[in-house]
Chain A
């Protein structure tokens, strides 16, 4: 369903994604794991055609991201890490607007909206303006919005961030249901414990590269560990992990300096 081939993305001389390749298939939950800043979100953005790859390419449901970006977008549903809604629109209106942009109309669209309101348990606030919503409520609407067109490929970037246990359960149940229906679900998260419960196969990203790609069982077996977190540390080495953290902190500071220089 998704075929990523030697994908590289460079921003202003900074390599965010380097030579990443992997393949996923329908009916699985695929984990894209790694610490913050490893390049997961950039990878997703390139796959979803929001960003242009520097080199390499990818295919989504048989469509090439460079040659057929609009077909790719029609077949993919992405929940972005940063969720935002139109505050002056109700939950239903938010969903309807995106439905229209996916060329859905009339009764088919209204039925789909009604189904999602049921599935994500949004009945109590579906007709209230999003400005008053809690993080959990917003997250549910954002999820519904991202899959309004019933895509075959679903990518969720940190879908349970900021959610309480109960709301998380709703989202998790939804992902499992999507897998049962034969869709591909890509779960991108830094929370390895969370991923361990859900994912069939995982790809681990570290410093813009893919460092592991396998089923969970085999990964744990190879590294002789009990959970994905330990497996990750085993693969990249604890010292290296710390080094990356330091690098990231420095980059952040440098970024601030740069912003000041160019900010008006």
Chain B
């Protein structure tokens, strides 16, 4: 086994001198992870403030047909009522963003309201335009308020107490802590990045030690040494796994530090707090590192088939998509409840465990099944890599 360590030490030293490995395995996780995570929150924060501050632009077909409603909206400083439009011109303006909501009333509108009959008001909006949707929600609330005020006024005329309209009073009580809400938020992105880094971290070195060795024509000289093929693969595998694990460890620590020193608090009055506990970080580390080890074995098996760097990248791209697609799909479905078998799929299981951990749900069964599955796949991957390395056809494909 001493030869494995010699090969390992050489590969690590070699890749430390390679700028590509340094960038993908060390610099990227340290800077990219916190930048992306905190950047996303900042962007969401800005977006939320922007939509809160947005003043909907409303147009009527004929303001003169609904003076009460127009006055109500105009008095509320949160809306701007612009000049009257036909429905066609209003639609054109909404496309351009000059108008957000268009209200269409019948000529009999005012009369019906004052007589106490329900009067229809059509609320035109475009659900494919975000600004229009937010404005629509705000206008709907304003219209309900108008409804209520009118109803209260009508009841007062008839000497009926307005409280009679309220049968029940639902009071929502959210007992999720600010941390848990933050965890829910971060759960959409972070788990995917852990899987991503588990693959990307070892990618360059995996190519370098296998296909790269063929491209440089050093492989045969290496096979001529007394070191057995098994010890050579083991050494190479250790180098790839160590690099990928370093990537995961660096990225998680850098994220932990970033959240510790610049905690992104947003929502009004700190509704969301992102803080990672040491327990959460250590479970993520465990899952991330074993995932990195497993992917290292697979990468090594795939890359050895290639004769050159370029070819290896061609082989790894579909592999990478195959690994990352299910992960990104399941992690973007909100509220997806994984059953136990999902915790056996490598990559996907990591996503779910990390998600749970972020919500402070420590499910021992899920964690153990995930770790077990990843370990089994890691052993299979190493076994496959060793088998492939002892095949003459793969090593001397020229």
Residues of A within 8 A of B (CB): 11-12, 45, 48, 50-52, 70-71, 73-74, 76, 78, 80, 82-89, 97-98, 100-103, 142, 145-146, 264
Whether A84 lies near B221 (C-beta < 8 A) is: yes
Whether A101 lies near B3 (C-beta < 8 A) is: yes
Per the bound structure, the CA–CA distance linking A142 and B227 in Å amounts to: 18
Besides A51-B392, A264-B315, 17 new A-B residue pairs in contact (Cβ under 8 A), listed by A number: A11-B393, A45-B220, A70-B226, A70-B228, A78-B224, A82-B220, A83-B217, A84-B216, A86-B10, A87-B216, A88-B14, A88-B18, A89-B14, A97-B6, A103-B2, A142-B221, A146-B224
Whether A101 lies near B226 (C-beta < 8 A) is: yes
What is the distance, in angstroms, from A162's C-beta to the closest C-beta of chain B? 13
The 8 A-B residue pairs with the shortest CB-CB distance in the complex, in nearest-first order: A84-B217, A101-B225, A88-B17, A84-B218, A84-B216, A82-B217, A73-B226, A100-B6
Q: Please give me the residue from chain B that is nearest to A138 by CB atom.
A: B217
What is the distance, in angstroms, from A53's C-beta to the closest C-beta of chain B? 11
Whether A73 lies near B225 (C-beta < 8 A) is: yes
Per the bound structure, the CA–CA distance linking A220 and B225 in Å amounts to: 38
Q: Please give me the residue from chain A that is nearest to B15 by CB atom.
A: A88
Whether A80 lies near B392 (C-beta < 8 A) is: no
User: B314 in the interface, Cβ–Cβ < 8 Å?
Assistant: yes
Per the bound structure, the CA–CA distance linking A12 and B216 in Å amounts to: 26
Residues of B within 8 A of A (CB): 2-3, 6-7, 10, 14, 17-18, 216-228, 314-315, 392-393, 396
Per the bound structure, the CA–CA distance linking A70 and B218 in Å amounts to: 19
Per the bound structure, the CA–CA distance linking A27 and B102 in Å amounts to: 101
Whether A86 lies near B216 (C-beta < 8 A) is: yes
Q: Given A88-B18, A101-B3 in contact, is the A50-B226 Cβ separation under 8 Å?
A: no
Residue picked from B3, B17, B216, B314, most chain A C-beta under 10 Å? B216
Whether A98 lies near B217 (C-beta < 8 A) is: no
Q: Please give me the residue from chain A that is nearest to B5 by CB atom.
A: A100
Whether A146 lies near B221 (C-beta < 8 A) is: yes
A45 CB contacts on chain B under 8 angstroms:
220, 396
What is the distance, in angstroms, from B343's C-beta to the closest C-beta of chain A? 32
Per the bound structure, the CA–CA distance linking A73 and B3 in Å amounts to: 14
Whether A50 lies near B6 (C-beta < 8 A) is: no
A102 CB contacts on chain B under 8 angstroms:
225-226
Find B223's partner among A50, A85, A145 (CB 8 Å cutoff). A50
Whether A50 lies near B220 (C-beta < 8 A) is: yes
Q: Please give me the residue from chain B that is nearest to A155 by CB atom.
A: B224
Per the bound structure, the CA–CA distance linking A82 and B225 in Å amounts to: 16
Residue picked from A48, A84, A88, A146, most chain B C-beta under 10 Å? A84
Whether B223 lies near A98 (C-beta < 8 A) is: no
What is the distance, in angstroms, from A32's C-beta to the closest C-beta of chain B? 17
B226 CB contacts on chain A under 8 angstroms:
70-71, 73-74, 101-103
B219 CB contacts on chain A under 8 angstroms:
84
Whether B14 lies near A80 (C-beta < 8 A) is: no
Q: Please give me the residue from chain A that is nearest to B208 by CB atom.
A: A88
Whether B228 lies near A85 (C-beta < 8 A) is: no
Per the bound structure, the CA–CA distance linking A111 and B35 in Å amounts to: 51
What is the distance, in angstroms, from A63's C-beta to the closest C-beta of chain B? 11
What is the distance, in angstroms, from A94's C-beta to the closest C-beta of chain B? 9
A97 CB contacts on chain B under 8 angstroms:
6, 10
Find A145's partner among B14, B221, B314 (CB 8 Å cutoff). B221
Whether A101 lies near B227 (C-beta < 8 A) is: yes
What is the distance, in angstroms, from B319's C-beta to the closest C-beta of chain A? 11
Per the bound structure, the CA–CA distance linking A101 and B227 in Å amounts to: 6
Per the bound structure, the CA–CA distance linking A139 and B17 in Å amounts to: 23
Find B224's partner among A52, A80, A103 (CB 8 Å cutoff). A80
Whether A98 lies near B225 (C-beta < 8 A) is: yes
B222 CB contacts on chain A under 8 angstroms:
101
Q: Given A100-B6, A101-B3, A264-B314 in contact, is the A86-B224 Cβ separation under 8 Å?
A: no
Whether B6 lies near A101 (C-beta < 8 A) is: yes
Per the bound structure, the CA–CA distance linking A12 and B392 in Å amounts to: 11
Q: Given A102-B226, A264-B315 in contact, is the A80-B220 Cβ separation under 8 Å?
A: yes
Whether B224 lies near A50 (C-beta < 8 A) is: yes
Per the bound structure, the CA–CA distance linking A100 and B8 in Å amounts to: 12
B18 CB contacts on chain A under 8 angstroms:
88
Per the bound structure, the CA–CA distance linking A82 and B222 in Å amounts to: 13
Per the bound structure, the CA–CA distance linking A145 and B220 in Å amounts to: 12
Per the bound structure, the CA–CA distance linking A76 and B224 in Å amounts to: 9
Whether A48 lies near B314 (C-beta < 8 A) is: no
17 CB-based A-B contacts, threshold 8 Å: A11-B393, A50-B224, A51-B392, A51-B396, A73-B224, A74-B226, A80-B220, A83-B217, A84-B216, A84-B219, A85-B218, A88-B18, A89-B14, A101-B3, A101-B222, A102-B225, A102-B226
Q: Please give me the residue from chain A that is nearest to B3 by CB atom.
A: A101
What is the distance, in angstroms, from A76's C-beta to the closest C-beta of chain B? 8
